[in-house]
Structure 1
Amino acid sequence: MEKLKMHSPNLTQDNIARIRDLFPGCVTEAKGEDGSVKLAVDFDQLRQELAESIVEGPQERYHLNWPGKREALLTANAPIAKTLRPCRNESVDFDITKNLFIEGDNLEALKLLQENYLGQVKLIYIDPPYNTGKDFIYRDNFTASKEAFEIFSGERNEEGGRLVSNPETRGRFHTDWLNMIYPRLTLAKRLLSDDGLILISIDDAEQASLRRVCDQVFGEQNFVSQLVWEKGRKNDAKYFSVGHEYMLIYAKDLVFLRERGEVWREEKPGAREIWAEFLRLQSIHGEDYVAMEAAISKWYSDLPKGHPSKKWARYKRVDKNGPWRDRDISWPGGDGPRYDVIHPETKQPCVVPEAGWRYSSSDEMQRQIKLGLVEFRKDHTEPPFRKAHIRPIPDAAVEDQVDGDDESGDEEADAELATQVRGSYFYKQSQVAVKYLRKLMGAKVFSNPKDHDELARLIEYVTPRDREAIIMDFFAGSGTTAEAVMKANAVYGTNHRFILVQLPESLEDALASTTGTAKKTVQAAINLLKKNTRPLLLSEVTKERIRRAGEVTLKEDSHEEWKKDIGFRVLKIDTSNMADVYYVPDALDKAKLDLFVDNIKPDRTPEDLLFQVMLDWGVDLALPISKQSIQGKDVFFVDSNALAACFDASGSIDEAFVKELAKHQPLRVVFRDAGYKDSSVKINVEQIFKLLSPTTEVKCI
């Protein structure tokens, strides 16, 4: 019976397998250092295949390079024997939530999640350390030493002699940051869906470096935009007041987005209130649109001066699709198509607008008429007009559907539908988020939190087709992304899920290394955790923020389609549940084999084992889990029958139990080696499932 590997995937082997798909003659098999057979690339053969496209040696080329880059990539691709252990007492609604909070190093988390969420994450938002010299940098084991950097950059020769008078210490400063961010972005890209996006907040310190790294990881062709977030000016600057940050946006595949016609729009201020009033009037008047038009006209007139909905008062006509106003039906700019459009009453062709019809063909015009989006006048002596609804009708969309300023003299409010394209610059004072979070937490426990309302708005903007997207943040920090997802769900009626990752950084260590205002902020966080008897870790503050934010969101008015998921499963990165003998049984002294009758560490629970099996098998870690007793043995069922797991170690699993379990017909089933009654049962398990549940995949640990 095949055993689960119980470690993260070897991405180098995956990459070689992709090369084999393209150039099968360039990949062979070779023995690895541990004696196992692995795929290997015949680079001589590959060079022949790509003879005209190879750049080698010192030949000039455009690329980004730095000391430690190769090691960073090797580290990203190397598998790790670690796991995620569930922590129910720190979770919220563990059994029913779809959200995850992973505590541990984000590089390890990204590796562990490769099988489970490969190509499934719609949106990644991260706010990584800005490398200002004061913030925390993840120290992986491939950072360059000062001497190695100086040799690489040409400041010293191999003998250590100084070659330049002014060492580029700033360069090494960038190098450490690049070595931190590069492998994480490389792994993150694999998790994105084909229509996926990554949004990265950054400031001037590493904006240029980040842009070049992202061009390399995601491809220049997939760059979407660079947003500028103005947060307010400071009066202490000597030259210019720099109060902005950036947000880089890259697509996994921008061509894919374009080919499927992805368009991003957001509602203009005031449009939502009009729609709410329409729904209220509809509940009163039903299909009596005359009464609804009279009522909505009065509603507009009763609005206070300056109300954002007042500028949309021309949307006072009503039909089944909501409030609408008339718009010109002629071709923008003139010289449009000309064809007959028959008036339904006079049966005569309507007068063609001087600029021609707006729709490119008679068939498209007829489609718009059938949708009820063309309104005819009393007779054919005047052209009809088209309806522009406060909320555009999806079925009505054509290439030129989005209205522009094509009617001179119209006010801005009348020149477009009630949606807009976001600009690349926006203003929101940073103190808004700071004050909100201080009120939520009872003290200032985070220095520079992002604004959850702005992030919620962005989430809705870039996920127009998704109602249940997976949204990830592997630099969770203050937990803003979690609250933003809950806020977006509550306001827009979506049910997006979040996956957050945060390092359990010691606040006591941070307190010792900070000064001034930062020290006061850390001390406030420590005081909060002591009051709640929590460990003094940054991740604990993050979790507490999400708990409180969930309660606040639940109390606010919300969309009826939101399922009100404010929970999260806490999973903590730890060493593998499996003893060393599981991975290298051949290296163990035969005399000591009796000491390892069981290959699982003694401090691990059945639920610990379940989550490592789910990791190994690539099962969604947020699926519902139930536990049943079958012939006196506990059996876990994940999402009913996606996975069944029995970790009984009493040696009492017999054929009768296996047959009973097979009746459930799970897609996958796993047993513990120490659980079988004898070797004959272990041998017969696969045969029993082939007979009673032939689609079940059977493995053991």
Structure 2
Amino acid sequence: MKKLTPADPEARSDDLVAENVAKLKALFPELITEGPNGAAVNVDVLKQLVGDATVTDCDEKYGLNWHGKRQARQLALTPSTGTLRPAPEDSVDWDTTQNLVIEGDNLEVLKLLQKSYAGKVKLIYIDPPYNTGKDFVYPDNFQDSIKNYLELTGQVEGGRKISSNTEASGRFHTDWLNMMYPRLKLARNLLREDGVLFISIDDGEIGHLRTLCDEVFGAENFCGVIKRRAARKTAFLRKRMTDMCDYVVAYVRSDAAAPLSAGQVSDGTRPVFNEGNTVSVRVLRSGAIAKCGDGTYNAGTYAARSLSFELLDDLKVTDGRVARDVRIRGPWRINQETLDRTLFVTRNLGLRRTMLPEELDQAKLLNDLLDDNTCYNEKGSEELQQLFEATVFNNPKPRGLIEYLASAAGVKEKELVLDFFAGSGTTGHAVMAQNAADGGNRRYILVQLPEPVDPENKEQKVAADFCDKLGKPRNIAELTKERLRRAARKIQDENPQFAGDLGFRVFKLDTSNIRAWNPKPDDLEAELFAHQDHIVEGRSEADILYELLLKLGLDLCVPIQEKEVKSQGTEGKKYTVYAVGYGVLIACLSEEIAVDDVEALGQGIVGWRKELAPAGETTCVFRDSAFADDEAKTNLAAILNQNGIANVRSL
């Protein structure tokens, strides 16, 4: 016997408001919209439905609006409060690789990448969470997204429950749109002028996504929608129609992007007639190929598919060739010159022409993926099963799909591919595999939230157990990195001669290394002393250095060199100096710089810069708290300025 509790529906009275809303929605679907607290009634529409003439059209305009859109737009414009901390211990070939894997909320990461990678990405592919009505882990806090990320990943105390995204909440579409809008705004900035965006989506949000992307990228930059058969067999779970396909929506950054290619044309034929064209007479020359069989075909009217044409002369065929010239009247799409350069192929007198030499090897435009077994989700599952020997992800995108899209976008040497919903890491795997296949050196950036996997959740148990087996935290980002490690080993084993890049640098989103001024009013004196050093306690020189790269707009894989400069003192102290990008940035992040060592340090930096001979200006950076007094700081700046280094900064 079940015991009722106050939480059980049977123990509560009927929700009359919900019933009334449901009845109104059944009668007038356009009447119900989404509001801040759930389903809402559009009063203006209600007035129109009952014939109230006071409703005006002053607010009517074409577009997609939802609750929170203004805040979502502002969120994309709000500066990031975080940084990316290097994690060499999680990386592969840290010193040489040009690939990046970034753990963190992709909204914050996209903000941080703006200076360094704006206008540099050739292809963005994303497979965002499909809006299934279940929770999705991107509940942006409009006040402090970095705090939200830290709470989700357990790096601070006081974690909060993730907002539910259920259809019953009345925010089924609103939550998803608020999640996607700022990310797409930021992603657009990263694309090159000839860049391409592909987004995998199902039929639940494709309509909204199209309208959203039209607003962000411009409707004129919409390329089309690729219909992809995602499964070989249907699950028969749909109420009215089977669901075996999803979609890939394609946009370009601008007209500078080339047509999306589905490979090269190598052979084939082309039609010669076109409905609606002016009817005229052309001559089919003697010697043209004829596959209609030897014999004589009497003059008269014949059909070519739905079109008709007229033989004005008898057509005689001998040994598969036209025996003499024949006049033909029809709605020709080619002129006599083109006709003379081509050989006709005729089957039951259905006339077609062979392709001209200049038409061969032209690009075929992109089309649907309905019969390509390399693009089924089952193929993606097979690929992961081979790598992990376990089902750690459900329905991962197959490598073949990403390779197809990258080829369509024309991603070539040293060009950059970005995926900020990295998931199982298929995009990175595909880029490495394609490089191994053709000897290329394409690069990738993957961004993945370290979303926890729960061993108590039936669908996540295998993934959680696998993380335990690896001795890693239970989250998706760890599985992403492990997939890339295993894929790299497999690619190397299968291509032993390949000497390209199979590594990746790992960075993790965290709060800034530079301490923000946020004093406690009850103990201002203590706060002043605590903020004497502007660097957060426990942060390494590498942490600070890579934050400088982000702030100065330098690539996170730019070469970094180290050199020790000896002091002039009797203690023989040495100062570590870093040169980034062959001298574009020079930094000494020592915690203390003795007054007597200012001259030696300054001259050491000047001499090394001359050796490096950077192409542009050099920025020099030091810890502000490292100097004993302002005089020492001024003297060092003067030495550098006198030797052509004018841009000197302190943290």
Q: What TM-score results when the alignment is normalised by the length of structure 1?
A: 0.64
The answer as to 2:468 corresponding to 1:530 is yes
Partner Cα distance (1:269, 1:126) in 2 = 31
Deviations 1:26-51, CA, capped at 9 Å, x for gaps: xxxxxxxxxxxxxxxxxxxxxxxxxx
CA distance change for structure 1 residues 416 and 208 in 2, over 3 Å: closer, same or farther? same
How far off its partner does 1:135 sit? 5.5
User: Where does residue 649 of structure 2 map in the other structure?
Assistant: 699
Deviations 1:540-563, CA, capped at 9 Å, x for gaps: 0111001101111122238x8x75
CA distance change for structure 1 residues 592 and 90 in 2, over 3 Å: closer, same or farther? closer
SS of the equivalent of 2:212 reads: helix
Partner Cα distance (1:461, 1:138) in 2 = 30
SS of the equivalent of 1:485 reads: helix
Partner Cα distance (2:588, 2:423) in 1 = 37
The answer as to 2:245 corresponding to 1:244 is yes
Partner Cα distance (1:586, 1:640) in 2 = 45
Deviations 1:402-438, CA, capped at 9 Å, x for gaps: xxxx993659999944863332343333211111211
CA distance change for structure 1 residues 584 and 617 in 2, over 3 Å: closer, same or farther? farther
How far off its partner does 1:218 sit? 0.7
| Identity across matched positions, percent | 37
How far off its partner does 1:240 sit? 2.6
User: Where does residue 264 of structure 1 map in the other structure?
Assistant: 261
User: Where does residue 140 of structure 1 map in the other structure?
Assistant: 140
Residue segments in structure 1 that go unaligned for 5+ positions in a row: 1-55, 144-166, 271-331, 337-352, 359-384, 386-405
CA distance change for structure 1 residues 57 and 495 in 2, over 3 Å: closer, same or farther? farther
SS of the equivalent of 2:352 reads: coil
SS of the equivalent of 1:654 reads: helix
Bigger helix share:
1
Q: Describe how 1:92-111 pairs up with structure 2 within 5 A.
A: 92-111=92-111
Partner Cα distance (1:142, 1:79) in 2 = 12
Structure with the bigger RCO (C-alpha within 8 Å, sep 6+) is: 1
Paired residue type of 1:97: T
Q: What TM-score results when the alignment is normalised by the length of structure 2?
A: 0.68
Verify the 8 A CA contact 1:95 1:625 in the aligned structure 2: no
Verify the 8 A CA contact 1:444 1:524 in the aligned structure 2: yes
User: Where does residue 394 of structure 2 map in the other structure?
Assistant: 447
User: Where does residue 599 of structure 2 map in the other structure?
Assistant: 655
User: Where does residue 197 of structure 2 map in the other structure?
Assistant: 198
User: Where does residue 626 of structure 2 map in the other structure?
Assistant: 675
Partner Cα distance (1:265, 1:686) in 2 = 57
Give the one of 436, 461, 466 matched to 1:490: 436
Residue segments in structure 2 that go unaligned for 5+ positions in a row: 1-55, 144-165, 268-331, 344-349, 567-573
CA distance change for structure 1 residues 587 and 91 in 2, over 3 Å: closer, same or farther? farther
Deviations 1:20-72, CA, capped at 9 Å, x for gaps: xxxxxxxxxxxxxxxxxxxxxxxxxxxxxxxxxxxx99432111110011111
How far off its partner does 1:675 sit? 2.2
How far off its partner does 1:101 sit? 0.7
Verify the 8 A CA contact 1:99 1:567 in the aligned structure 2: yes
How far off its partner does 1:698 sit? 2.0
Verify the 8 A CA contact 2:260 2:408 in the aligned structure 1: no
User: Where does residue 637 of structure 1 map in the other structure?
Assistant: 579
Paired residue type of 1:60: E
CA distance change for structure 1 residues 586 and 142 in 2, over 3 Å: closer, same or farther? closer
Verify the 8 A CA contact 1:99 1:497 in the aligned structure 2: yes
Q: Describe how 1:8-407 pairs up with structure 2 within 5 A.
A: 58-134=58-134, 136-142=136-142, 169=168, 171-231=170-230, 232-234=232-234, 236=236, 237-253=238-254, 255-257=255-257, 264=261, 266-267=263-264, 333-335=333-335
SS of the equivalent of 2:564 reads: strand
Deviations 1:134-161, CA, capped at 9 Å, x for gaps: 3624111259xxxxxxxxxxxxxxxxxx
Give the one of 619, 640, 650 matched to 1:689: 640
Deviations 1:139-188, CA, capped at 9 Å, x for gaps: 11259xxxxxxxxxxxxxxxxxxxxxxx9847510001001111111111
Bigger strand share:
2
CA distance change for structure 1 residues 637 and 202 in 2, over 3 Å: closer, same or farther? same
Give the one of 416, 419, 424 matched to 1:473: 419
Deviations 1:446-492, CA, capped at 9 Å, x for gaps: 0010011221122122125x311111111111110110111121123
Paired residue type of 1:501: V
Partner Cα distance (1:57, 1:605) in 2 = 60
Count of residue pairs brought into register by the alignment: 484
- The structure with more radius of gyration: 2
Paired residue type of 1:247: V
SS of the equivalent of 2:250 reads: strand
SS of the equivalent of 2:550 reads: helix
User: Where does residue 409 of structure 2 map in the other structure?
Assistant: 462
Partner Cα distance (1:203, 1:224) in 2 = 18
SS of the equivalent of 1:256 reads: coil
Deviations 1:644-687, CA, capped at 9 Å, x for gaps: 11101123251221121022336222111122343223113333
